[in-house]
Amino acid sequence: MRPVIVVEDDPFLRMLHGFLDSSAKPAYLAALADFFAHDLADFDGWVRQLRALAGPLYPAEVRCVADQREFAAQLPHAEVVVSESFTIGAAELAQAPKLKVLQKYGTVLRDIDTAACATRGIPVLTLRRRANISCAEHALMLMLTLAKKLHLMHGRISFTQLRAAGFDPKIFDSGLTPGSGWPRARGLSTLYGATLGIIGFGEIGREIALRANAFGMRVLVTQRTPLPKAQQREWQVCYASRDELLAASDWVCVQVPLNATTRDSFGAAQFARMQAGAKLINVSRAEIVNRNALLNALRAQTLGGFALDPLYEEPGRADDALLAFDNVILTPHIAAMPRHNALDDFMDLVRGVALAFKKNIN
C-alpha cells in the first residue's frame, strides 16, 4: 500500500503530487519541467534524486485538499500531512488515527496545537522557506532603491544625462567643501532611523522585520490578533492598530494573503491615514491595494513612492499608467526567485519528512 500524504492545495505544495505520486500525468510533469527550466537543466535527474531521498514515501498517494472541510474529510486516511494554513488541533488529530508526521510549510505554528501533537507522539516539522527569505530581500531592495533613487540615478553619470533626468548637477568647490553629492539629487533618504509598518506578520512579514532591524529601523506590525509581548520582544517589533501604524510609518509594507477579505482592503481610507510622503511596498499580491486609490494618491503627490511585485496583470503592459510616475518601481513577479529556492525547499521538506516517517513506522 502506498502511504497517503494529504497536502494543502497551495500552488507550490501541489507539486508534491508530481514529485511523489506515481500516478501523476506526464503532462503535469512536463509543465513542472518547464516551470523550473530556466534554473534547472536536468529536471528528470532532480526528480530522481528527490524520490531517492523520499525512501518509503515514494511512491505515495498524494491527495491535495483545498480547504479545511476537504482536509477534515481526508484526515482518517492521512499518514503524512503537509499544511501551510490549516487549523490542526486536538479535534483534527482525533480524526487522524494513522497520522505519523505533520509538516508545516513554514515556521509560524499559531494554527497548530503542538502540545496535542506531542501527546500523540506526532512530530511537527517546520521549514524556513527560502522563497520567503527572497521575498523579504526583494522588499528591502525596493525600499533601498526608492530611498536612494537608484532607478533614476543608475547609469546617469554625466551632466547631460542627469539634467535630462530632471536633476541640477553642479560640482562643488573642492578646495572648500567635500565633493560628494554633486548630482544634487533632492529627497534621498536612509532606512536607518525610519519607521517601517508591516501589515500582516506572517512568514514573509517576519523575514522583512529581521532585515529592517538590521538596518536600524523602528518596526511596527499589525495583524488580526494582537501580537503577544513576548513575541514583540523576540522579533524587536511593536504591535499597533492598523490606523496607528499608518499614521506613524515612513514606510508601509503590505504582507497579507489575497482572499475575499483582503482584496482592495488597502484603499482611499488607508492612503488618507498615511503620513504625507510615506512610501508603500507590496510584495504580496497587487489586488490587495486598490489600483484607482493608488493612482489617485500618486497623482495627488501625497504618496511618496510605491513599489510592487507581482503586477496587477501578467504579463504587464508597456502603457501601464503606473509607469508614468518616477517614484514607482514595478518588477515582473521575481521576488521569490531563483527557482532553486523552491527546489532546495522541497529537498529539505522531503528529506525531513522521510526521516521522521521512518522513525514512526519502526
278-311 per-position pLDDT tens digit: 999 999 999 999 999 999 999 999 999 999 999 9
Whole-angstrom distance between the N-terminal and C-terminal Cα of the chain? 16
Amino acid 293: pLDDT: 98
Q: What is the pLDDT of residues 149-196, one digit of tens each?
A: 999 999 999 999 999 999 999 999 888 889 899 999 999 999 999 999
Amino acid 362: pLDDT: 64
- pTM value? 0.94
C-alpha cell at 272: 488618507
Answer whether 211's CB lies under 8 Å from 260's CB.
Answer: no
Helix axis angle for 130-148 and 340-361, nearest 10°, is 150
- Given a cut of 80, whether residue 7 has pLDDT beyond it is yes
Contacts of 271 (CB under 8 A, 6+ apart): 293, 294, 296, 297, 302, 303
Amino acid 360: pLDDT: 81
Q: What is the pLDDT of residues 77-124, one digit of tens each?
A: 999 999 999 999 999 999 999 999 999 999 999 999 999 999 999 999
Q: What mean pLDDT is predicted for residues 32-53?
A: 97
Amino acid 292: pLDDT: 98
Amino acid 77: pLDDT: 97
Strand order of the sheet with strand 195-199? 238-239, 218-222, 195-199, 251-254, 279-282, 305-308, 328-330
The neighbour count for residue 319, using CB atoms within 10 Å, is: 7
Sorted by where each starts, the structural domains of the chain and their CATH numbers stand as 4-126+339-361 (3.40.50.720), 132-149+187-330 (3.40.50.720)
Amino acid 5: pLDDT: 98
Dihedral sign (CA 114, 119, 121, 122): negative
Q: What is the mean pLDDT of the chain?
A: 96
Amino acid 43: pLDDT: 97
Q: What is the 3-state secondary structure (H, E, C) of the chain?
A: CCCEEEEECCCCCCHHHHHHCCCCCHHHHHHHHHHHCCCCCCHHHHHHHHHHHHHHHCCCEEEEECCHHHHHHHHHHCCEEEECCCCECHHHHHCCCCCCEEEECCCCCCCECHHHHHHHCCCEECCCCHHHHHHHHHHHHHHHHHHHCHHHHCCCCCHHHHHHCCCCCCCCCCCCCCCCCCCCCCCCCCCCCCEEEEECCCHHHHHHHHHHHHCCCEEEEECCCCCCHHHHHHHCCEECCHHHHHHHCCEEEECCCCCCCCCCCECHHHHHHCCCCCEEEECCCHHHECHHHHHHHHHCCCCCEEEECCCCCCCCCCCCHHHHCCCEEECCCCCCCCCHHHHHHHHHHHHHHHHHHHHHHC
